[in-house]
Amino acid sequence: MAKVAFLGLGVMGYPMAGHLKAAGHDVTVYNRTAAKAEKWVAQHGGAMALTPAQAARGAEFVFSCVGNDNDLRTVCLGQEGAFAGMSANTIFVDHTTVSAAVTQELFDVAKSKGISFVDAPISGGQAGAENGVLSVMCGGEQASYDAASPIIDAYSKICRRLGDSGAGQKTKMCNQIAIAGLVQGLSEALHFAQKAGLDGEAVVEVISQGAAGSWQMSNRYKTMIADHFDHGFAVDWMRKDLGIVLQAADDNGASLPVTALVDQFYKDVQKLGGGRWDTSSLIKRLNALDK
């Protein structure tokens, strides 16, 4: 078993760190709000640290799951950052969804210190984190990935290296592109069913067994029909991710017209007060257009 640190105990990081402890690893946690770390230690055991550097000291692997590019820089860099506490030949694994640019920046800084850096964004939502069945998409050096993947197994159903540094983040962009289109399509289908006088649940029961079936359909149609969105992955975070996607598309020349349009639809949801609603709340926008 390994000595590890986990930085960031949000809705994803909290259960992920718990799975590491349950798998027998020696876990030290850090969270910007110390009360969350205290709660985690009370529930799972292990130890807490007051700074990322303190958490990382002596760890073989340091994991992070924070909010955005700036949050990641903060937990990595500076006198209190994780890199300051890490020894050479240790491995930093970042599960945050961030830009490929900041990933490359931190990969280079880590390498200059003899530290390995693996970008490893995740998909599967809060339920996937709680049940330990996340999809993990990785970029970085093969040897670093090979060392980290058995540890990641504690909370993943699939973990795969897609290429060099940044490849994990670019794969997560593909994931968000696909989700954006799927959720909009499902929203339109349910909205149309309602306008056509059909039983939405009966419609989904039939079409989900054919070519239209998807994770979004299976897991979100009931709450969408019930107008319940106080759960899941927030619209604010999706817009952050889609902003990263669209900037990357500008850089590499990819044409993403549907993604750009759905990003604007999510902006409309934010204007409705739904920044913290689940991403399936796109249907709220369609229903609001009827009023």
Provide the annotated active-site residues: 172
Under a CB-based contact definition with an 8 Å cutoff, are residues 16 and 159 in contact? no
DSSP reduced 3-state for 67: coil
Adjacent-strand bridge partners of 123: 135
Adjacent-strand bridge partners of 27: 4
Angstrom distance (rounded) from CA 283 to CA 221: 10
Instruction: Tell me which long-range contacts 270-276 makes (C-beta under 8 A, separation of at least 24).
Output: 270/235, 270/236, 270/239, 274/229, 274/235, 275/234, 275/235, 275/236, 276/230, 276/234, 276/235, 276/236
Angstrom distance (rounded) from CA 124 to CA 216: 11
DSSP reduced 3-state for 24: coil
Angstrom distance (rounded) from CA 50 to CA 34: 7
Residue whose entry in the numeric block shows the structure tokens 């909009």 = 184
Tokens of 229: 């969105």
Alpha-carbon distances of 123 from 141, 198, 228, 254, rounded to whole Å: 21, 32, 22, 22
DSSP reduced 3-state for 196: coil
- Nearest CA to 250 out of 258, 241, 240, 260 is that of 260
The secondary structure of residue 153, as a DSSP letter, is G
Under a CB-based contact definition with an 8 Å cutoff, are residues 145 and 118 in contact? yes
